[in-house]
Amino acid sequence: MNSETYQLDETDRRILLALDNDPRVPIMMLAQQLGLARGTVQTRLERLAHSGALRPNTARILPSSMGRGVSAFVSAELNQSSLNEAIDALRRIPEVLECVAPAGETDLLIRVSATDPDDLYRVSEEIRLCPGITRTSTSMILRDVIPYRTTALLSKLSGTKN
């Protein structure tokens, strides 16, 4: 299964909304809060994880708490025949937080963290020198105005107010 074919139902949405409010709630408490059997919640979460619908379990630590207060997006153009080599090289750069392949002129959009502008320059250069990358453009993020979220969307799909 993958996240593109898996369709959330109302029970899935209720579980995910509750987890969005408190991601560390034990499964037994979650089941009690939602009026569901513990086994139902456990099975649903395993199915969501297996389908790819959930982001992998991770402590979502802010880079700034690790002394990396500068964030940026690096747009990269690349030689299409070297896509896999470029992605492999990007995976080895610890400052690369995520990488997506958008539609349009940009081949890859890479979110990075750095300690300061000089460090951002170093990270950008490391990306530019990856095999297959032919050109980069870096845009420093001044402020996150809407952080990554799904609660409002889940609420809309559930027909509840957030």
Sequence-distant (≥ 6) Cβ neighbours of residue 139 within 8 angstroms: 72, 73, 74, 75
As beta bridge partners, residue 56 has none
Could you tell me the domains of the chain? Answer: 10-58 (1.10.10.10), 63-141 (3.30.70.920)
Q: Report the first-to-last Cα separation within the chain, whole angstroms.
A: 30
Q: Cα–Cα distances in Å, from 37 out to 24, 45, 48, 93?
A: 18, 13, 17, 43
In the DSSP assignment, the letter for residue 103 is: S
- Which secondary-structure segment (H or E) carries 111? strand 108-114
Summarised one tens digit per residue, pLDDT across range 7-56 is 888 899 899 888 888 888 999 999 999 999 999 999 999 998 888 777 76
Helix/strand/coil for 51: helix
Summarised one tens digit per residue, pLDDT across range 90-136 is 999 999 999 999 999 899 999 999 999 999 999 999 999 999 999 99
Tell me the CB-side half-sphere exposure of residue 54, using CA atoms within 13 A. Answer: 18
As beta bridge partners, residue 100 has 109
Whether residue 117 contacts residue 66, with contact meaning beta carbons closer than 8 Å, is answered with no
Summarised one tens digit per residue, pLDDT across range 45-93 is 999 888 877 776 555 677 888 899 999 999 999 998 999 999 999 999 9
Q: Strand 70-78 relative to strand 96-100: parallel, antiparallel, unpaired?
A: unpaired
